[in-house]
């Protein structure tokens, strides 16, 4: 297992370099001038010449890429052209929001999708099965932006002043703040604006509140995550439910399942122990792919619910030709994808002993 993980990590290095080089090159070959996008009417030829010289845009692309890789290896992702701030600072400020949203969206998708798929497979061709699959097809068909607006209107406006009201936007209620856990624990952090682990964790509100022990703030932050997580996680939930159903149906028809039933094994044990574990391989693959897509595609959900995550910054960076921000977020998302694929492949060996990774 250790040798397999080492090989996978070694093979991921050229993959990440290739992704970064393609992104690096395309960002500079696309039409548009970053100087004019950043400065607007103030972008005179003289100012743009100084601008390009300052950010090294006059150098050949291979030379720019070499300098960028050197800086990345030293932990410097550059400075944003549009925002005038270090990219490390933007990452530690915005990425935790997207990670937190994606985590709760995936928890919703798994905790709802897998049981729905199991129930639908067990009651195959019944009214429960038909109703579940109709709901899954509807969930796949609903665009995120439409579902987000409908949830905001329903729970934020129609159900206002009722026990079912949920906050339609924001991360915390007005006037509520959570003390960073490293301050509460007496941990000294020299530079909170750089990409440090304590600073990153402190910007994940629910996790930070748990570490501090502020249960009121934890409940408030979790309540603000419900509607965005449901809106973002509905499509993955539907995909997981459909995949669980089809995979479990195939497994429940195999000989060893019939043998377990003939031996008198309880039906719950047949389905959960003998059936579901062997049906989870394709489901785990779908979960891994969905989690990666959630991290990279939450721009609409973040915009609708007023969350200051990666999506909005990345959109502004792409339209404004802010190369450094696009490159940094692409690198981070690629690393997350590689890590998720590694975890999924490792889970295969746990779920199916017949797989020998060595």
What is the spatial distance between Cα 235 and Cα 109, in angstroms, rounded to a whole number? 8
Nearest 5°: phi and psi at 189? -115, 115
> Which residues are CB-neighbours of 190 under 8 A, at least 6 positions away?
none
The CA dihedral of 216, 93, 211, 112, to the nearest 10 degrees, is: 70
Q: How far is CA 76 from the centre of its chain?
A: 23
Domains along the sequence of the chain with CATH: 87-279 (1.10.3720)
Q: Cβ-count burial of 74 within 10 angstroms (0-12 exposed, 13-18 middle, 19+ buried)?
A: exposed
- Is residue 136 within 8 Å of 127, Cβ to Cβ? no
Q: Cβ-count burial of 317 within 10 angstroms (0-12 exposed, 13-18 middle, 19+ buried)?
A: buried
Per-residue pLDDT of the chain (358 residues; tens, 9 = 90+): 677 677 777 877 888 888 888 877 777 777 767 777 666 666 777 778 787 777 777 778 788 888 888 888 887 787 787 777 888 888 888 888 988 999 999 999 999 999 999 999 988 888 898 998 898 888 888 888 889 889 988 998 888 888 889 888 878 887 788 888 888 887 776 665 566 778 888 889 999 999 999 899 999 999 999 999 999 999 999 999 999 999 999 888 888 888 888 888 888 888 888 888 888 888 988 888 888 778 766 777 888 888 888 877 877 777 777 778 888 888 888 888 888 888 887 777 777 766 654 5
| pTM of the shown model | 0.85
Q: How far is CA 265 from the centre of its chain?
A: 40
Q: Cβ-count burial of 72 within 10 angstroms (0-12 exposed, 13-18 middle, 19+ buried)?
A: middle
């Amino acid at each position: 297992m250790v040798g397999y993980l080492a090989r996978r990590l070694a093979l991921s290095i050229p993959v990440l370099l290739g992704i970064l080089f393609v992104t690096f090159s395309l960002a500079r070959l696309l039409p548009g001038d970053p100087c004019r996008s950043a400065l607007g009417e103030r972008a005179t030829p003289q100012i743009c010449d100084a601008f390009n010289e300052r950010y090294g845009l006059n150098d050949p692309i291979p030379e720019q890429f070499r300098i960028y890789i050197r800086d990345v290896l030293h932990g410097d992702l550059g400075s944003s052209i549009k925002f005038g701030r270090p990219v490390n600072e933007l990452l530690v400020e915005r990425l935790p929001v997207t990670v937190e949203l994606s985590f709760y969206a995936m928890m919703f998708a798994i905790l709802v999708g897998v049981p729905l798929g199991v129930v639908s497979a067990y009651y195959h061709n019944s009214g429960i099965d038909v109703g579940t699959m109709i709901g899954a097809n509807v969930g796949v068909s609903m665009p995120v932006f439409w579902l987000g607006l409908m949830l905001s209107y329903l729970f934020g406006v129609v159900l206002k002043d009722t026990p079912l009201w949920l906050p339609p936007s924001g991360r915390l209620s007005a006037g509520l703040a959570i003390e960073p856990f490293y301050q509460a624990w007496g941990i000294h952090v020299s530079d909170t604006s750089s990409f440090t682990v304590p600073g990153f964790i402190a910007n994940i509100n629910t996790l930070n509140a748990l570490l501090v022990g502020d249960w009121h703030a934890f409940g408030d932050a979790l309540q603000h995550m419900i509607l965005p997580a449901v809106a973002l996680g509905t499509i993955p939930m539907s995909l997981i439910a459909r995949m669980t159903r089809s995979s479990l149906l195939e497994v429940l028809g195999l000989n060893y399942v019939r043998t377990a039933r003939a031996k008198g094994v309880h039906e719950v044990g047949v389905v959960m122990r003998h059936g579901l574990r062997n049906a989870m391989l394709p489901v785990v693959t779908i979960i891994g792919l969905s989690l990666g897509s959630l991290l990279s595609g939450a721009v609409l959900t973040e915009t609708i619910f007023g969350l200051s995550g990666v999506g909005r910054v990345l959109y502004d960076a792409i339209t404004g030709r802010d190369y450094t921000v696009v490159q940094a977020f692409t690198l981070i998302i690629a690393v997350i994808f590689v890590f998720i694929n590694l975890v999924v492949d490792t889970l295969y060996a746990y779920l199916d002993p017949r797989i020998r990774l060595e």
